[in-house]
Chains A and B, each alone.
Chain A
Amino acid sequence: MKLSEELPLIAKDPYGYAEKLKAEKKIVGTLCSYTPEEIIIAAGAHPFRLFGSGQKSRLADAHLQSYCCSLARGVLEDALSERLDFLEGIVFAHTCDTMQRLSDICRINRGGVFHLDLILPAKLNTESARRYFRDVLQTFREDLGAKLGVEIADNDLRKAISAMNRIRKAFTRIYELINENPSIINGEELYILNRAAMMMDKARLADLVEGTVVQLSSGSREAPDAGAPPPKRIFLEGGVCNYPDIYNIIEEAGGAVAGDDLCTGFRYFNGLVDEDNPDPLMAIADRYLKRIVCPAKHAGIADRGERLVEMVLEKRAQGVIFFFLKFCDPHAFDYPYLQQVLEKAGIPSLMVEVDDPLQAGGQLQTRIEAFIEMI
């Protein structure tokens, strides 16, 4: 398996890539997998996911206390230090308390780019929330169109939906192939693929990722050593993962990632928008309502636990690693419950919490090694 050379370059230097892409398309920053990229694409613009570049925080500390997560701090640092000047605008989808305040702080302190709040419902399991979700998307479509000076027609939306579905189908296939044989692609490659997917031009991405499916299906990867034991299947659960090293650590310890429910992983690709629905906005909303939720959203009190066990069983994972960002409240609140649900189902788990930048790998590595050895 050989990834196209473009992908690691984008994953490594996303802002350099964006500077170049800016000549072709207006770039709209996003912070969350709940941003309806289809609407941005339909407006002829390019949705670009922001993670922060992990630079030392100098300016952000004047706005955010020490108990704020590194994701919000990193994005604010980049916004204030003009590293995000390639952006035409930025869209904040409402999720957690921190993101909601980050939106305010960016709006107040960062001029020069348009700012849109997408105030989605927090509960996603009622009909009134569904209607509201659709209404919010309609307002967003109008506001974004006004900011970009275009009218977003239903037909544009349909084309964007189908383009995004093409990408989602290809990624779903990749995850199926990984499930069949986790060694088919190494974790770092999967990380790069996921990461680049959230930042690169969607048309080019669709071609590349479909090419990857063909390559993986043809089994071009050399067979593992006949004598070596098969890797232990690990499922990753958590929010934003900015750490390619985690995949290497897992692999070196004799594990392989068989699947994930990360906000920067499969949750981003999960589920298709119904292309036959005559109301494209309702169709976009419905995908979010059916998809497994981020813990900042509510879909019933047992939903996340039940669905996690389902996913883990489907992936035949032998263990789950919870991978959390420090100060991420929604994930931290769900952890004891999810851990118990897994325990009842006989699935061992390990929780690791990281801050940006990753602390010296030693302790993390030892814990992951011990866990993989134990399962």
Chain B
Amino acid sequence: MAEKDEGKERRKIKAAAKMKEIMTSYYIDAKTAGQTGKKVAWITSGGPVEPLIAMDIIPVYPENHGAMIGASKMGVDLCRKAEEMGYSSDLCSYARSDIGCAPVNGGPIGGLPKPDMLVCCNNICGTVLKWYEVQARYFNIPLFILDTPFTHVGFSAEAKKYVKRQILEYIEFLENATAKKFNYDRMREVGKLSLEGQRLWQAVLDTAVNRPSPLSAFDAFFHLALIVTLRGTRQTVDYYKILLEEMQERVAQQIGAVADEQYRLLWDNLPIWYRMKWLSEKFASAGACLVADTYTTAWCGSMKYIKEDDFIDTMAEGYSRIYLNIGVDQMAEQVIAMAEKYNVDGIVMHSNRSCKPYSFGQYDIQRIVGEKMGIPTLMIEADMVDERNFSESQVETRIEAFIEVLQGKK
């Protein structure tokens, strides 16, 4: 027993404590913004945060809040509140729990800090457009929409022109909201830090190519918070350097995220926040490690389009060509590339009722990957926050059957 605990202790990621510290102090800053005279902007997870950082505006992420609500199992209650307000139970549970939370300041941190402005980028879905309209009416504050046309098969010249034009409109919006001139020099620094942070985050994720993998997708879901929230800050760069070092050290010492790594799997779609621990233990007990996922790489997947010394001009393309704003066939290609890179034995797909753009097309991706690589897929029907759409016994049976398939293939 003592030996077992020792192994568990050895596998714990030490940097996690530092990360909790950073996130706590960030939320305190955001919550006290009213007293310190700082402005707060709510922004979508795929939105361009760098100009906010350059303007000293504190970015706050309702989606991150949704994840926290889910992880603390407060989702059902808050979703119900939104349903009492008239919102259909079929709508996105991030949106429902956030909308339900605003009037009652509920949830794990007593509600989000009140926004001074809203920044919505529809590169992740059309849902955020509706959600931010709701909140713009509720708080009666200005809303900026960065409209990134969908790139089914490519990014057209006219779309590029349109998004570039809107980047300038975004800057103008921030200048109006803060009554300050935009600082282009500061923006250049922030742009560099953003890319450096993204490169480091990708490097952290890349350590999972090792056997055993030093981290799992469940770890990535946790350590993701900074690249989403504070992308473009020195703090984020410093943190991922520490995390990367720890991962490299684990690789050197052969410390795996899972005690006895037998199977390597790829996760697709958002996490099931309220069952993270259960799922991670379920897979780990069968020696299966979820070594990579399509979700956490989305924050560094379009780096190739952004030029470090010309961030403002190239971010239009970078933000338009992120994972969720591309065609299903291109998504399948990326899934295959990841499956090959991380050398996985199978794929776990979360068919997420809350996220239509992420989930519709999964059956096709499953088929394409199956045809090209011959690896099996497990499909889990669930929801990221609303536990009412999760059947533990059904999921458990499916996971067990899937592990048997993997065993049969070895």
Chain A: residues with CB nearer than 8 A to chain B?
62-65, 67-68, 94-98, 100-105, 107-109, 117, 119-123, 126, 128-129, 131-132, 135-136, 138-139, 295-296, 298, 301-302, 326-327, 329-330, 332-337, 339, 353
Contact = CB atoms under 8 A, between A and B. Distances in A.
Contact of A65 (B122, B129, B359): B359
Contact of A301 (B125, B143, B152): B143
Interface in B333-390: 351, 353, 356-357, 359-364, 381
A337 B126 contact: no
At the interface, is chain A mostly helix, strand, loop or mixed?
Answer: helix
B130 A302 contact: no
A104 B356 contact: no
Contacts of B356: 67-68, 97-98, 101, 329
Interface of B: 85-88, 90-92, 95, 122, 125-127, 129-131, 133-134, 136-137, 143, 145, 147, 149-153, 156, 158-159, 161-162, 165-166, 169, 327-329, 351, 353, 356-357, 359-364, 381
A330 B90 CA distance: 11
A65 B379 CA distance: 11
Contact of A295 (B95, B130, B137, B357): B130
- Minimum-distance CB pairs A-B, first 3: A336-B86, A333-B130, A135-B158
Contacts of B165: 128, 131
Contacts of B360: 64-65, 68, 97-98, 101-102, 105
A109 B364 contact: yes
A339 B88 CA distance: 13
B72 to A, nearest CB: 25
B127 A329 contact: yes
A337 B150 contact: no
A63 B137 CA distance: 37
A74 to B, nearest CB: 15
Q: Most chain-B CB neighbours within 10 Å: which of A62, A65, A117?
A: A65
Contact of B161 (A62, A97, A132, A339): A132
Nearest to A351: B86
A108 B371 CA distance: 14
A333 B134 contact: yes
Contacts of B152: 100, 103-104, 107, 117, 119
B162 A101 contact: no
Contacts of A67: 90, 353, 356, 359
A97 B131 contact: no
Given A100-B126, A119-B156, 5 more contacts: A97-B125, A101-B328, A101-B361, A120-B149, A126-B169
Given A122-B126, A336-B85, A337-B137, A298 B145 contact: yes
Contacts of B87: 332-333, 335-336
A129 B359 contact: no
A329 B96 CA distance: 12
A96 B126 contact: yes
Contacts of A65: 351, 353, 359-360, 362-363, 381
A301 B361 contact: no
Given A100-B357, A135-B162, A94 B150 contact: yes
Contacts of A100: 126, 150, 152, 357
B133 A128 contact: no
A94 B90 contact: no
B329 A108 contact: yes
Nearest to A92: B152
Contacts of A132: 149, 158-159, 161-162
B85 to A, nearest CB: 6
B84 to A, nearest CB: 10
Contacts of B328: 101, 104-105, 108
Nearest to A326: B90
B361 A104 contact: yes
Contacts of A102: 360
Contacts of A136: 158
A62 B363 contact: yes
B235 to A, nearest CB: 33
A119 to B, nearest CB: 4
22 contacts: A68-B360, A94-B150, A97-B127, A100-B152, A103-B152, A104-B361, A120-B149, A122-B129, A122-B145, A129-B147, A132-B149, A132-B161, A132-B162, A135-B158, A295-B130, A329-B126, A329-B127, A330-B126, A330-B130, A333-B131, A333-B133, A337-B137
Contacts of B351: 65
Given A101-B361, A336-B87, A119 B159 contact: yes
B130 A121 contact: no
A107 B361 CA distance: 11
A64 B362 CA distance: 8
B357 A101 contact: yes
Contacts of A63: 361, 363-364
A121 B122 CA distance: 11
B90 to A, nearest CB: 5
Contacts of A120: 149
Contacts of B95: 333
Contacts of A334: 130, 133
A100 B324 CA distance: 11
A98 B328 CA distance: 12
A10 B143 CA distance: 45
Given A97-B125, A337-B137, A64 B143 contact: no
A64 B360 CA distance: 6
Contacts of B86: 335-336, 339
B313 to A, nearest CB: 16
Nearest to A330: B130
B191 to A, nearest CB: 22
Contact of B166 (A128, A296, A302, A333): A128
B156 A97 contact: no
B173 to A, nearest CB: 11
A333 B327 CA distance: 25
A123 B137 contact: no
Q: Most chain-B CB neighbours within 10 Å: which of A65, A97, A98, A109?
A: A97
A97 B126 contact: yes
A298 B91 CA distance: 18
Contact of A332 (B91, B133, B359): B91
